[in-house]
Amino acid sequence: MDLRARFGCLESVLDTTSSFSEGLRAQVL
């Protein structure tokens, strides 16, 4: 597997997680 593709996938997952946690935090506060 291409290392660059793996990092891109990881980055997209990280981006989704951060945006999800931000939305969750906005709901809680």
Residue 19: exposure state from Cβ atoms within 10 A (0-12, 13-18, ≥19): exposed
Mean pLDDT of 5-10: 89
Work out the pLDDT band at 3, boundaries 50, 70, 90. Answer: confident
pLDDT at 1: 62
Work out the pLDDT band at 28, boundaries 50, 70, 90. Answer: confident
pLDDT at 2: 86
CA-CA distance, 3 to 9, in Å (whole number)?
Answer: 10
